[in-house]
Structure formats: structure tokens, C-alpha cells
Chains A and B, each alone.
Chain A
Amino acid sequence: MTAEAQRRRAFWQILLFAAGVLVLTVISAGSVYLVNKARSDNKWVLHTIEVENQVNALLLEVRRAESGARGYLLTQGTDFKADHEKAVAAIIPALDRLTRLSTDNPAQRDNVEKLSAAIETRLDQFAREMDFVRQGQPEKATALLSEAAAGDTTTKISSVASAMIREEERLFRLRSVNADQSQTLAASMTGIGSGLVVVLTLISIWLVRRSARIRDEAEARLREANVNLETVVDERTSDLREANNEIQRFAYIVSHDLRSPLVNIMGFTSELEELGSDIFRRIGSLTHVPAEGPPVAPGTNGEIALEGPDKQLSEDFSEALGFIKSSIAKMDRLISAILNLTREGRREFQPVRIDTRELIEAIVSTLAHQAAEAQAEIHVEPLPDIISDRLALEQIFSNLIDNAIKYLKKGVPGEIRIRGRTKLGYAIFEISDNGRGIDPKDHQRIFDLFRRAGTQDKPGQGIGLAHVRALVRRLGGTMSVSSELNAGSTFTITLPMTWNASNRKADQ
């Protein structure tokens, strides 16, 4: 998966989260607002009903006052009078209350003013009627009553009141609708908000699942890649082993088959040498005829001395044959060396626990004679024990110690030191000397087969170090040299503490 896609997914997740929070906030705020609105709408509905009630209550009191006044007029009963007075007393507070209630509505306020004017007129009439009755002039009061009845005061009161009630009923309808609307709005808002939250949640879940799936796929791909990698490494390794085996077989066959013609060359060269000496002997016996007596029988007392050009010929002949023979001998040594190397390469290692110090001291004692001749002292310091192939280790150390003795500086007592230490599962051995040293430009070369460095004053084929390095590598280790010309050399060998047969078995 690309980083771009990852970033985009993270961005979408944050966006979704923000959207969720926003939706929730909007729903909460909207709900609070709408609930408040519904409450105030309801209050107004209630207010309308209250106003209507108040109008009705006022009318009731006015009617009570009227009927009380009439009763008193007809019967002069004190009961009626009390009733009337109580009603009149209630009218004014009721009117006041209505006035207070209707302050919000200009139309109703006008109506209230009209109503209160009419009521005041009516109250005034009541007061006069009552006065007439008290003064014992009931007929006047009756006349006033009929006048009032005939007049429009009462009608006006009731018409104004009914107008007010109608107005309030209209308002009630209007406000009820408003309140309903607010409540529906609040409900739908909550519903839509919840729906949105659910949708956002679903999208989130989908995103999370998708990213989980992508991650799983990526993991699977990674595992597959790892497995593939191992397979590829195994394939390459086996290819390399195959190639290595091929080279070994090749080297073996070539070196082996080279021997056969060499036997002939050597054999017939020797035969030729025989023939040559026979021929020259004959020449000698023919040219050396003594003046008196028979020719000297060849072979009686060995060679017959040749003279002049014959002698020269014989010497040239022997010299040529000598070169041929020494070259053949050298070639034979090289071929044998290659054969031994390939044979070593095929030998199966037997890992055993090795007391390294004991092993090296044994080597040192076999080399004691050479060391004494070279005036060299060999110091073996405590060494770590390892599990490895004994023969291989013997060859490695004896080659290196032998080299150290062989290439000391002339006239300087040799000092050879073998040290060892361990590090991270590896044993590190150092073989150092104070010998003639190796020029840094030859450090690589000395490990090559048939290559040597420095003054060629010692016998050798240039095989030892190549062999040692091949062995060290087969044992799973590494080898290096640090040296300066005339300043001694130190060969460092790093070997695993425990040689594991399985990791190299496929070599065989």
C-alpha cells in the first residue's frame, strides 16, 4: 500500500469523526432551540385560553351583577343586594386582570378598552339603580333598568366580549398549529440527526473494516514475499553449490587425466636418456680406439670419457633432458597439489570437541626441529576450545606455523606467538611472527593458488595458504592477514565455536 493511500484513509477517518461531532452538536443545539420554542408556543396557547377564560369570567360577573340588581329591584331582598355587590366587587379585579393579560395584543387591548368603557357605564347604571332602590324609588330604578336594557350597553358588552373570544379562538388555532409545527420539527430533527449518526457510524465501520482487510492483505503479501525470498535464497545457494561441485569435479578430472600423458613423457624421456647414454658410449668406444689392441669394451669401468665436440653434444643432450625432467617433476607436483586440494574439498568433516592448545602444542613439537634450526621460539598462549574438524584444524595451524618459521628474517631470532579469544560465538586465533613480513600489495595474492610473494628463496608451490583459506571457509570462518614488509605478519582466523555439519552438508 502506498503512503498516499494511507494518508488519504487517515484523512477520511478524521473527516468522518468531525462530521459525526458536528451532526451531534447541531442536533443538540437544534433540539434545545426547538424544545424551547415548543414550550413558548404552548405558553402562548395557554395564554389564549386564559384570556378567553378571563373574558368569560368577566361576562359571568357582569351577568351576576345584573341579575342580582334585578332581583333586588323586584324583591328588595338583601340577599340579592349582597350578591350584586359581591359581583360588582369582582368585576373590577377581573377587568384589571384581563387588561394585564391582553397587553401583548393591540387589537385585544382596544377591545378591552371598549369593554371596560361599556362596563364602567353599566356599573354606573348599577350604582344609580341601587341608589334609587335605597332611596325608595324603585320605579325610577326600573325605568333606568329598562333604559339600560333598551340601550346598547349590555349588547355592547356582550358583542365586544364575543369579539374578544373570537379573536382569542383565532389566536388559539394559530398558536396550536405553531406549537404542533415546532414539535414536529424537533422530532424530525432528532430523527434525521440520529439517522445521520447511524450512517456515519456505518461508513466508519466500513472504513475500519476496509483498512483491516487491506492490512491483512498486506500482511499476507509480506509473508508470501518472505517465503519467496527464502526459496530464492535456497535456489541460489543450491545453484552455487552445484557450480562449486562442478568446479571440483572438473579440477579433479583435469588434474587426473593430465597425469596419464605425463607418465609417458617422463617414461620416454627416461628411455631417451638411456638411449642417449648408450649412443654416446658407443661413440666414445668408436672414437677412442686405442692405437694398439682392440677397442675398449664399453661398461668395463663405467663411462668412457668423450672429447671435443662429442663431449659438448653429450652435455647439451643431458642438459635438455634435465630441463625436461625437472619441468615434468614440477608439473607433477602442481597436479598432485590440485588433486589433493579437490580431494580435501570433498572430504566430509567430523566435528569433535578439540583442545586447541593441545592440538597446537602437538604441531609445535613436530616442527621443533625446523624451529630450532631457524632459532625461533614459539609461544602458545591459552586458547579457546572449539568443536570442529580435527584434521582441518591441524592442517590450518601447521601450515601457518610452518610458514611463520619458514619466512623469518635472517639473523634475527624468531618469535612466534599464537593467541586466542572468543567473541559472539566465534573463536579468533592469531598467529603472529616477527619475520620478513608481506608487502600490503601482496596480501590478496598470497591466498591465491600457486602464487607466492617476496623473495623466492624457499621451496614451495604456493599452495599452503590457498589450502588454509579454503579449509577455513569450509569450516564457516574467515581469514585475514595484517603485515608490513620487514615488520612481521599476523594471520587472524575466525572460526565458529561450534561447527554445524548441517549448514555445510549440502557441499558434499
Chain B
Amino acid sequence: MTQPVTIIMIEDDEGHARLIERNIRRSGVNNEIIAFGNGTDAMKHLFGTDGTGLVQKGKALLILLDLNLPDMTGIDILKQIKENKYLKASPVVVLTTTDDSQEIKRCYELGCNVYITKPVNYENFANAIRQLGLFFSVIQVPSAAT
């Protein structure tokens, strides 16, 4: 990896964010994790103040996205990421409580790379996140388009 990958976590539930972060760390992933509790802040970070996404140019990102956000739906964020020329190459992992087949289909159609339903059973949850962490440690993430 020419550049360390930054993990952007967009998750409104602080508890979930904490559990996810903890389990990713447990799987040995030490990359920087930037957490956002709402869509607006995350969008500002991703697309910059000018909304073009130029700020992320040349950076390697991995985005963890929850669909149920207080101010906007994760689907909207996913759509805008996949339509932005600097961000569309970044892998997006949708991690949410919804297991509706329509929703899952729609996310993949919009270009989501992985869709994971949060299991209520904590053991399964922790396992899923740890496996995700293992996955993070091996995948190659491209730098945002230059």
C-alpha cells in the first residue's frame, strides 16, 4: 500500500460505532478510523466544502456506511459517492440493521461493494466485524482518482 488506507465510518449509533471499532481493532487492523455520527458531517468531510470531492484526491478510503441516519438515508450517500469521480473507486461496505431484500438489491445496484446485516446476536456481530477487519487487512484499496 503506497498510502495508509483511512476507514471512514458513518454510523449514527454511538454504541454501534464503538462496538464496530473495538472489533475491527481486535482483528488487528490499525488503520485510522474517522467516525461520523450523521450524514451531513460525513458528506462535508468526503466532498469538502465545495462539494466536489477534490479534497480526497489521491487518498485511499474505505467507507463503512449505515443506512439509517438521522438526517439523510445512507442510500443517498452511497449514490453520491458512486457518482463522484474522485470517490467512486473507494470500496463501500454497507453495515446496517436492515435485512430487507429490496434494500440489499438496491444498494448493490448503486455500486455498494459489500452489504452486511448487523446480527443482534453479539457473538455473530463481533465475528462479522472481525472478519470484516481481516478482510480490510488484505484488500487492496485504490487511491482516489488523480
**Quick one: closest B residue to A336, CB to CB?**
B120
Tell me the minimal C-beta distance from A179 to chain B in angstroms. Answer: 111
Q: Is the CB of A270 within 8 A of B126?
A: yes
- Residues of chain A within 8 A (CB-CB) of B120 are 259, 262-263, 266, 328, 332
- Contact among B13, B68, B121 for A264, CB-based, below 8 A: B13
Q: Determine the distance from Cα of A257 to Cα of B13 in the docked complex, in whole angstroms.
A: 11
A-facing residues in B115-140 (Cβ within 8 Å): 118-123, 125-126
Interface bin, chain B: 10 to 19
8 A Cβ contacts from A150-183 to B: none
Q: Which residue of B lies closest to A331 (CB)?
A: B120
| C-alpha gap A270/B16 in the complex (Å) | 13
Interface check B40, CB cutoff 8 A: no
Query: Does any Cβ of B come within 8 Å of A343's Cβ?
Result: yes
Residue contact B15 to A267, C-beta cutoff 8 Å: yes
State whether the Cβ of A456 lies closer than 8 Å to any Cβ in chain B. Answer: no
Tally of contact residues, A, Cβ under 8 A: 18
Contact A260 B68 (CB under 8 A): yes
- The reply to whether B13 and A266 form a contact with Cβ atoms under 8 Å apart is no
Pair A343/B100 contact, Cβ less than 8 Å: yes
Interface residues of B in 90-146 (CB under 8 A from A): 97-98, 100, 118-123, 125-126
Question: A260-B68, A263-B120, A332-B121 in contact; A268/B97 too (CB < 8 A)?
Answer: no
B125 close to A263 (CB less than 8 A) = yes
Q: Which of A257, A266, A271 contacts B121 (CB 8 A)?
A: A266
- Is the CB–CB distance between A263 and B123 below 8 Å? no
- For residue A209, CB closer than 8 A to chain B, the reply is no
B55 beta carbon closer than 8 Å to chain A: no
Does A260 lie within 8 Å of B125, measured CB to CB? no
Partner of A268, one of B19, B100, B121, B123: B19
How distant is the Cα of A428 from the Cα of B97 in the complex, in angstroms?
Answer: 41
| Interfacial residues of chain A within 29-43, with CB under 8 A of chain B in the complex | none
A267-B122 contact, Cβ under 8 Å, with A260-B13, A260-B16, A260-B68: yes
> Complex Cα distance A264/B20, Å?
11
List the A side residues contacting B16 at CB < 8 Å: 260, 263-264, 267
Docked CA distance A374–B15 (Å): 46
Note all chain A residues with C-beta closer than 8 A to B13: 260-261, 263-264
- Residues facing B in A255-281 (CB within 8 A) are 256-257, 259-264, 266-271
Partner of A270, one of B15, B97, B118, B122: B122
When distances are taken between beta carbons in the complex, the residues of chain B under 8 Å from A268 are 15, 19
Contact B100 A264 (CB under 8 A): no
**Docked complex: A316-343 residues within 8 A CB-CB of B:** 328-329, 332, 343
Q: Evaluate contact between A269 and B122: CB separation under 8 angstroms.
A: yes
Assembly CA distance A266 to B123 (angstroms): 9
Residues from 54 to 112 in B contacting A, C-beta threshold 8 Å: 68, 97-98, 100
Shortest beta-carbon distance from A174 to chain B in Å = 118
- Cβ distance B22 to chain A, nearest Cβ, rounded Å: 8
B97 and A266: CB pair below 8 A? no
Q: For the complex, give the distance between the alpha carbons of A268 and B23 in Å.
A: 12
Which residues of A are found within 8 Å of B97, using beta-carbon distances?
A: 256, 259-260, 263
Of listed B97, B120, B122, residue having the most chain A CB within 10 A: B120
Q: Are A263 and B100 in contact (CB under 8 A)?
A: no
Quote the shortest CB–CB distance from A260 to chain B (angstroms).
Answer: 5
Q: Which residues of A have CB within 8 Å of B68?
A: 257, 260
Q: Do residues A266 and B125 form an inter-chain contact, with CB atoms below 8 A?
A: yes
Q: Which residues of B sit under 8 angstroms from A329, Cβ to Cβ?
A: 121
Chain A residue, CB-CB nearest to B129: A267
Chain B residues with CB under 8 Å of A332's CB are 120-121
Shortest distance from the beta carbon of A11 to any chain B beta carbon, whole Å:
72
Q: With A260-B16, A262-B120 as known contacts, state yes or no: A267 contacts B100, CB within 8 Å.
A: no
Contacts of A343 in B (CB 8 A): 100
Find chain B residues with CB under 8 A from A256 CB: 97-98
**Which residues of chain B have C-beta atoms less than 8 A from A260's C-beta?**
13, 16, 68, 97
A262 to B15 CA separation, bound complex (whole angstroms): 10
Taking the nearest CB of chain B, how far is it from the CB of A473, in angstroms? 23
- CB-defined interface of A230-266 with B at 8 Å, one 1/0 digit per residue? 0000000000000000000000000011011111101
Cα(A93)–Cα(B19), bound, Å: 161
Q: Known interface pairs A256-B98, A268-B19, A343-B100. Does A263 touch B118 (Cβ–Cβ under 8 Å)?
A: yes
Q: Which of A257, A261, A266 contacts B122 (CB 8 A)?
A: A266
B111 shortest CB reach to chain A, Å: 24
Complex contacts, B100 vs chain A, CB 8 Å: 343
Residues of B within 8 A of A271 (CB): 19, 22
Most buried by A among B97, B98, B122, B123: B122
A1 to chain B, nearest CB (A): 58
Within the assembled complex, what's the spacing in Å between the Cα atoms of A260 and B13? 8
In the bound complex, how far is the Cα of B15 from the Cα of A263, in angstroms?
A: 9
Which positions 203-225 of chain A face chain B at CB distance < 8 Å?
none
A124 to chain B, nearest CB (A): 152
Distance (Å) between the CB of A341 and the closest chain B CB? Answer: 14
Q: Mark A11-24, 1 if CB is under 8 A from B, else 0.
A: 00000000000000
Query: Complex Cα distance A261/B16, Å?
Result: 9
**Selected A-B contacts with CB under 8 Å, 26 pairs:** A256-B98, A259-B97, A259-B118, A259-B120, A260-B16, A261-B15, A262-B120, A263-B16, A263-B119, A263-B120, A264-B16, A264-B19, A266-B120, A266-B122, A267-B15, A267-B19, A267-B122, A267-B125, A267-B126, A268-B19, A269-B122, A270-B123, A270-B126, A328-B120, A329-B121, A343-B100
With A260-B13, A263-B118, A271-B22 given, name 11 new contacts (CB 8 A): A261-B13, A262-B120, A263-B15, A263-B19, A263-B119, A264-B13, A266-B125, A267-B16, A267-B125, A270-B122, A271-B19
Top 3 nearest A-B pairs (CB, nearest first) are A264-B15, A270-B122, A267-B19
